[in-house]
A = this chain, B = another copy of it.
Amino acid sequence: MSVLVVGSIGLDDIKTPLEEQKNLLGGSTSYASVAASFFAPVNLVGIVGDDFPKEHVDFFRAHRIDLAGLQVVPGKTFRWSGEYMWDLNTRETRSIALNVFESFEPKLPPGYETTPYVLLGNIHPNLQHHVLDQMKGPRFVIADTMDLWINNTPGELQRLLPRVHMLILNDSEARLLTKQTSLIKAAAQIRNGGPAYVCIKKGEHGALLFGPEGQFFSCGAYPLEDIHDPTGAGDTFAGGLAGHLASLDHSTVTFDSLRKAVVLGSVMASYNVEAFSLERLRTLTPAAIEERYQLFKRMSQFEVVM
């Protein structure tokens, strides 16, 4: 089955302690769509200016991503410039230019409204609402968010929660949203607000998944020797997760299928940070995904059947 991915598409300038690259393909939709496309057909919803390089459109097409929802309008594409500190864990936004993204209204082309799986990338909660308003009974809706919306549009975000099945956010955002230091308490509080499932990302330390009836899963992070560019790790994670769910032939999503989805999301993110922008995803193969998935399996097993 298909997954609808909505969010930003942009051109990034990225500086790490070792390297600087400009005019890179970026944005949450780009990362999430391409990651999801390894598992399931993707319907993309986003906006770019008429300066958006054709090669990036071709790249999406090569991944069989449906682009009926890609709006190309006169003007400049969204641009972001960021710099990572020495440990690659903290970053500073150097500049941001919304450009055509400022007037983005995610309008679904005919046929998209019945997509069973929906990934609402990290955009203004009102845009996320607007997408859901157009959907017809989606099977599973995942929403991503960030500190900006938690601080600036808390009401809109709270109203979104009962409309989604799963919220993905990182540990500091979960604490900010709930004013709880314990992630367990934070997840329980978010679940009380609506979503049956909460996934808390802990960066290099993995991810936690919380579900109904106290169900809990802890996914260790794949230990990387060389991280080149952390940009898009969270979006790639969400995309891989959503793509795996959409690839299943189940009529309902279960906690057990979500466990595997979290691991596959982690696998995708672990590959993505090995190179700038989406470069590593260009050469990634299903065999490599399976290989690292097996590695995750081995590295987290502690009762080995001899």
Tell me which residues across on chain B come within 8 A of A181, comparing CB atoms: 86-87
Contact with B along A254-288 (1 / 0, CB 8 A): 00100110110000000000000000000000000
In this assembly, does A116 line the interface, its C-beta being within 8 Å of a C-beta of chain B? Answer: no
Of the listed residues A182, A226, A256, A302, the one surrounded by the most CB atoms of chain B closer than 10 A to its CB is: A302
Tell me which residues across on chain B come within 8 A of A185, comparing CB atoms: 225
Tell me which residues across on chain B come within 8 A of A194, comparing CB atoms: none
A203 to chain B, nearest CB (A): 10
Q: Contact: B259 with A302, CB < 8 Å? A: yes
A244 to chain B, nearest CB (A): 11
In this assembly, does A126 line the interface, its C-beta being within 8 Å of a C-beta of chain B? Answer: no
* Closest residue on chain B to residue A187 by CB atoms: B223
Contact with B along A182-209 (1 / 0, CB 8 A): 1111000000000000000010011010
Q: Contact: B302 with A262, CB < 8 Å? A: yes
Stretch from A66-74, A129-137, A212-220, A229-237 at the B interface: A212-220
Contact of A300 with B205 at beta-carbon distance under 8 Å, contacts A182-B226, A256-B306 already known: no
Contact with B along A285-306 (1 / 0, CB 8 A): 0000000000011111111101
* Closest residue on chain B to residue A259 by CB atoms: B302
Tell me which residues across on chain B come within 8 A of A202, comparing CB atoms: 205
Q: Contact: A302 with B297, CB < 8 Å? A: yes
Tell me which residues across on chain B come within 8 A of A260, comparing CB atoms: 302-303
In the bound complex, CA of A146 to CA of B79 (Å)? 46
Interface residue ranges of A104-125 to B (CB < 8 Å): none
Of the listed residues A182, A216, A225, A300, the one surrounded by the most CB atoms of chain B closer than 10 A to its CB is: A300
A166 to chain B, nearest CB (A): 16
Tell me which residues across on chain B come within 8 A of A160, comparing CB atoms: none
In the bound complex, CA of A306 to CA of B296 (Å)? 20
Of the listed residues A184, A219, A220, the one surrounded by the most CB atoms of chain B closer than 10 A to its CB is: A220
Contact of A206 with B208 at beta-carbon distance under 8 Å, contacts A223-B183, A256-B306, A300-B218 already known: no
Q: Contact: A220 with B223, CB < 8 Å? A: no
Contact of A223 with B217 at beta-carbon distance under 8 Å, contacts A206-B205, A260-B302 already known: no
Contact of A299 with B216 at beta-carbon distance under 8 Å, contacts A182-B226, A206-B205 already known: yes
Contact of A221 among B217, B218, B259, B297 (CB under 8 A): B218
In the bound complex, CA of A223 to CA of B207 (Å)? 12
28 CB contacts below 8 A, A to B, read A86-B181, A87-B181, A182-B223, A182-B224, A182-B225, A182-B226, A184-B223, A184-B224, A184-B225, A206-B220, A208-B223, A216-B298, A216-B299, A217-B299, A217-B300, A217-B301, A218-B221, A218-B223, A218-B300, A219-B220, A219-B300, A219-B302, A220-B300, A256-B304, A256-B306, A260-B302, A296-B302, A297-B303
A residues neighboring B (CB under 8 Å): 86-87, 181-185, 202, 205-206, 208, 216-221, 223-226, 256, 259-260, 262-263, 296-304, 306
